[in-house]
Amino acid sequence: MRIVIFGPPGVGKGTQAKLLVDKYNVDHISTGDLLRNAVAQKTPLGLKAKTFMDAGNLVPDDVMIDLIGDYLRTNSSKSGFIFDGFPRTIAQAHALDELFASFGISLDAVISLEIEHESVVRRLSERRVCKSCGHISNLSVLEPGKESVCPDCGGELYQRDDDKPETIRRRLDVYVEQTRPVKEFYERSNRLTQVDGMRGIEEIHRDIVGILEALKSRKLVP
């Protein structure tokens, strides 16, 4: 199973990817998480990426394509992986096709989570992430007085720097200008399936599993 979870920031790509990883035992490649780890560890990649991320801009394509190329060089034979946050530009989408072709594998499906932009702003500004286990939560579901306690592991919840209002607006503009065309690219090649991302987490998960099971029964996914 090699799939891309696609959609604007805050639509729930990470949450859905984690549920799929638990169900299908596949790798989760979140380019955002990889970059945030690199920034925290002050690696050369992190130092390069930080200014772009802080401003809500995309990290340059050559950096991102190298990152995914490195991952595939050691993991292309794995039975499955889910890309979350990649590709985000047309150049990245082309590069992913070329990389897959060079490893003799193919992309099975692109699941596009759909949401209204107004809801994105609210969801992102209310999003909280656990420093210990990476659990993604939201102020609207956290008990009053316990807004900084992870409901999963008791760790400390924090707000990502780029989830502050001024950066959210920029990230949405970047999505519209540079990332939304990727959706049309996959639509044109009949690889995209849309899922309503405005519903509850479990409901969305059930829909995605239904799509993947249907693909499996048509033998498009091993």
Per CB under 6 A, 96 contacts ligand AMP = no
Comparing every residue's Cβ against ligand AMP, the nearest one is 32
- Coil, strand or helix at 177: helix
- Beta carbon of residue 88, minimum distance to ligand AMP (angstroms, whole number): 4
Residue type, 79: S
Per CB under 6 A, 168 contacts ligand AMP = no
Taking CB under 6 A as the criterion, the residue among 15, 16, 31, 112 binding ligand AMP is 31
The separation between the first and the last C-alpha atoms of the chain, rounded to the nearest angstrom, is 6
- Which candidate, 14, 221, 1, 217, places its Cα nearest to that of 113? 14
127 is an active site residue: yes
Nearer residue to ligand AMP within complex by CB, 12 or 56: 56
Per CB under 6 A, 9 contacts ligand AMP = yes
The burial class, CB within 10 Å (0-12 / 13-18 / 19+), for 104 is exposed
CA atoms within 13 Å, Cβ hemisphere of 176: 9
Taking CB under 6 A as the criterion, the residue among 19, 53, 111, 182 binding ligand AMP is 53
88 is an active site residue: yes
Residue in 2, 18, 123, 171 annotated catalytic? 171
| Stretch of residues binding ligand AMP (CB under 6 A), selected from 82-90, 101-109, 126-134, 194-202 | 82-90
- Beta carbon of residue 19, minimum distance to ligand AMP (angstroms, whole number): 17
122 is an active site residue: no
Residue type, 108: D
Residue type, 99: L
Cβ neighbors of 77 (< 8 A, separation 6 or more) are: none
Taking CB under 6 A as the criterion, the residue among 88, 127, 128, 135 binding ligand AMP is 88
Find the length of the chain.
222
- Coil, strand or helix at 106: coil
Q: Which residues are tagged catalytic?
A: 13, 88, 127, 160, 171
Contacts with ligand AMP, residue ranges (CB under 6 A): 9, 31-32, 35, 52-53, 56-59, 64, 85-86, 88, 92, 162, 171
